[in-house]
Amino acid sequence: MNILFLTLSSVYIALLLFIPSLTQPIMALFKTLPIGLLIVMVIKGRSQLQNRTFITLLFALSFSALGDVLLALDTGQLFIGGLAAFFVSHAFYIITMLPIKNWRLDVLLLYLFLAIIVFCLFYPNLNDMLIPVIFYMLVLTIMASLTWMTDKSNGFLVLGGAVFVISDSILGLNRFYLEIAHADIAIMITYYIAQFFLINGFINHHSNK
């Protein structure tokens, strides 16, 4: 299953590199296939997961897939819809990580500090996107911080949260600050890694229990 995920992710990234002129619906389809496979992995591991975890992970991945489609089809108007979909996805990841076992103020302050730095860079260009971006960065910061604090915390979860922050930071800087060469490739590589680590972190936690 892991090899198949790597293959599907690599196929989409190869399409971005070598055949970016494919129609948006086709690109959207290939973009969501790796997330679809993660949904299959969650369904396959249902017997190892708590019922709440199973349901919240399905919602988190489903809204991620929706966000992928909206961003892949984005001609300018759908970006906020994609942002909203990922906001909901992070909210479900947060619910999955409850209850909190060990509050880590140092981790929260570190992620907040990084978020403020990135936000200050693209703040002048946000305009009407100011409020949606603030709320999105807040929920992303909480999600990444909680990977350290949940009773399910493990290396996969911590890395997944951190790499998700990196992926979305590249996306935000590329869209609102300055154009980054091959940003789409960097965004998708880190995005797929983040989702893979998060899902495996939750599954491995329950498997070990």
pLDDT digits (tens, 9 = 90+) for 14-71: 999 998 888 889 999 999 999 999 999 999 988 888 899 999 999 999 999 999 999 9
Percent of the chain scoring above 70 in pLDDT? 98
pLDDT at residue 1, rounded to an integer: 82
pTM over 0.75: yes
Inter-residue long-range contacts of 146-149, CB under 8 Å, 24+ positions, other chains counted: 146/94, 146/97, 146/100, 147/97, 147/198, 147/201, 148/102, 148/104, 148/107, 149/97, 149/100, 149/101, 149/102, 149/103, 149/104, 149/107
Closest CA to 199 of 45, 15, 26: 45
209 band by pLDDT with thresholds 50, 70 and 90: low
Cα 108 to Cα 16: distance, rounded to the nearest angstrom: 34
Tell me what the mean pLDDT of segment 167-174 comes to.
96
Q: Residue 75 above 70 pLDDT? A: no
Percent of the chain scoring above 90 in pLDDT? 82
Alpha-carbon distance values, 91 to 19, 29, 59, 63, 178 (Å): 34, 24, 10, 10, 29
Closest CA to 46 of 37, 38, 54: 54
Q: Residue 205 above 90 pLDDT? A: no
Q: What is the CA radius of gyration of the chain?
A: 17
Q: What is the overall mean pLDDT for the chain?
A: 93
Q: For the segment 142-154, what is each residue's pLDDT rounded down to a tens digit?
A: 999 999 999 999 9
Which residue(s) pair with 150 in the sheet? 100
Tell me what the mean pLDDT of segment 99-119 comes to.
94
